[in-house]
Amino acid sequence: MGTLARTSRILASASLAAAVLASVGAGAAPAEPGARAPGGPRFTAGADGAGDPYFPRAGNGGYDVSHYDLDIDYEPPTATVPPTPLAQIRGRLDGVATIDLVARQDLDRFNLDLRGMTVSALTINGKRATGIAPPADGAEVEGAAYWHVQDAAARQWELTVQPRPKLKAGQSARVVVTYGGETTRPTDIEGALYGWVTTRDGAMVVGEPEGSMTWYPVSDHPRDKATYSFEITVPAGKTAVANGLPDGDPVTAGGRTTWSWEAPDQQASYLTTASVGDFVQRPVTMSASGVPILDFVDSKIAGNALAATNASLALQPRMIDFFESRFGAYPFNSFGSIVDNDSVGYALETQTRPVYSSSAGQGTVAHELAHQWLGNAVSPDEWRHIWLNEGWATYAAWMWTEENGGTTAQQAFANWYAPARTPAYWALPIADPGALGLFATQVYNRGAGTLHALRTKVGDEVFFAATREWLRRYDDSTGTTDDFIAVFEEESGQDLSAFFHTWLFAPEKPTSW
């Protein structure tokens, strides 16, 4: 995520309530996920969350999604001009999500995340399921069925699917969900806009950390990566931009245009977008290694904001060349941007096509590009590891500024490190900042400082060799802070536990390392 307004929020708390974990008897070993308990039923329900301590119900257990095919029809707001307050504007989304998944355990039922939408039909492996009211806990439900619980106070948005016949471990299944509803301007636990954010001319779609469930049924956690296809139908004259590359030319009929996109690379759900607006596509450019760059800029952006945006976007081919020299080959089939005149107050590294609010500055473009390697190709296994996203992207932007003739990375480190700061600033453990600390400035800047200090400790050769090994080993997957430390200890031959404790966890300013 970009370092705009979101990173400067005052922290309300260092943590959110942790997930409730099942207790294990003294001396007993915990069961493998999905394992059958001795004497217990063979088929069990998949967990209603991925087990992330910060967002216990985000994602789901019992299965892995391999592909989402999203067919969306969107009608933007009709009352689009002031004095209609933004909070009151509404759009209409109707969708059909085709979800291909594989059971990881013998499944009696499983969940999807879906917030603010109403399901009108659901099939699994071609068999129609019956929509019912949520049953009482432990109640038996006959036949193929689904039910939807939406409890904003408990941050619970669970669409439960009961397949019949039941799914065996290793079995593939196709779930087709027909759904729809009024689109609004949803917010995350900090009150920041995210998800399908309705704008006056369309929608600005940014899902970090678990906002993708506001526009399609999903296992909304980075652990469950999948490939994506999009068909987005909007009024003729509007442009719909998603991840990946266009799948043919847009098709217009009956006053509406369908835009098709294919994203064949593994992708975390929070990195999906289907932004809609009055966009103008810039000429396609190419990096030296052949990465196509597709940019879409809101037609209402003008003057200095447009000049600065165009100047920044023109640097993207060189930026890709530079980061490839440090990190290895660009990991996806394309890159580019969506620059929207409307604003959510931050930029986001939506995979292959970051979204920018109002304009795109050079440092922010470098930051979001670096995320394609660090955050997108390799994602956090739990949200507490977000410093591996934001610290890296911030440090990569320092490196780019140096490469482009500006402040050196060492100078940037000194500029951050030298000023006096409050004890509270240093007290935040950036490797476990709490759900309300995900976007704290310390995660970004102390994270970048950690990486620069690490580089000076192990030397450039080891630092970049270990970085490339980190990216190679966990590509298309997720990693943890412990995984990262292990890679750097292997490559350097050093015990770095004290170093990382000082930089990531110690509640004070690092003074020696």
pLDDT band at 22 (very low <50, low <70, confident <90, very high): very low
Question: What is residue 79's predicted lDDT score, i.e. its pLDDT?
Answer: 64
Average pLDDT estimate for 221-225: 98
Q: Is the peptide bond before 82 cis (omega within 30 degrees of 0)?
A: no
Average pLDDT estimate for 209-227: 98
Radius of gyration of the chain from its Cα atoms, rounded to whole angstroms: 23
Beta strand spans in 445-505 (E):
477-479
Distance separating alpha carbons of residues 263 and 247, to the nearest angstrom: 10
DSSP per residue, 267-326: E-GGG--EEEESEEEPPPEE-TT--EEEEEEETT--HHHHHHHHHHHHTHHHHHHHHHHH
Question: What is residue 424's predicted lDDT score, i.e. its pLDDT?
Answer: 96
Fold (CATH) for 383-505: Neutral Protease; domain 2 (1.10.390)
Question: What is residue 40's predicted lDDT score, i.e. its pLDDT?
Answer: 54
407: Cβ–Cβ under 8 A, 6 or more apart, which residues?
398, 401, 415
Question: What is residue 272's predicted lDDT score, i.e. its pLDDT?
Answer: 98
The answer to whether the 278-373 and 383-505 domains have the same CATH topology is yes
Distance separating alpha carbons of residues 63 and 109, to the nearest angstrom: 10
Class of domain 278-373: mainly alpha
Distance separating alpha carbons of residues 33 and 30, to the nearest angstrom: 9
Residue-wise pLDDT tens digits, 99-111 = 999 999 999 999 9
Domain ranges of the chain: 278-373, 383-505
Question: What is residue 35's predicted lDDT score, i.e. its pLDDT?
Answer: 46
Average pLDDT estimate for 338-360: 97
Q: Provide the token pair at 391.
A: 């610290």
Q: How many CB atoms lie within 10 A of CB 51?
A: 18
Residue-wise pLDDT tens digits, 411-428 = 999 999 999 999 999 999
Distance separating alpha carbons of residues 462 and 494, to the nearest angstrom: 11
Say yes or no to pLDDT of 400 above 90: yes
Say yes or no to pLDDT of 20 above 90: no
Question: What is residue 80's predicted lDDT score, i.e. its pLDDT?
Answer: 64
Question: What is residue 38's predicted lDDT score, i.e. its pLDDT?
Answer: 57
Average pLDDT estimate for 255-277: 98
Length of the chain: 513
Say yes or no to pLDDT of 178 above 70: yes
Question: What is residue 31's predicted lDDT score, i.e. its pLDDT?
Answer: 39
Average predicted confidence (pLDDT) for the chain:
93
Place of tokens 């292959």: 352
Question: What is residue 101's predicted lDDT score, i.e. its pLDDT?
Answer: 98
Question: What is residue 300's predicted lDDT score, i.e. its pLDDT?
Answer: 97
Residue type, 116: G
pTM attached to this predicted model: 0.92
Average pLDDT estimate for 305-315: 98
Q: Is the peptide bond before 165 cis (omega within 30 degrees of 0)?
A: yes
Average pLDDT estimate for 110-118: 98
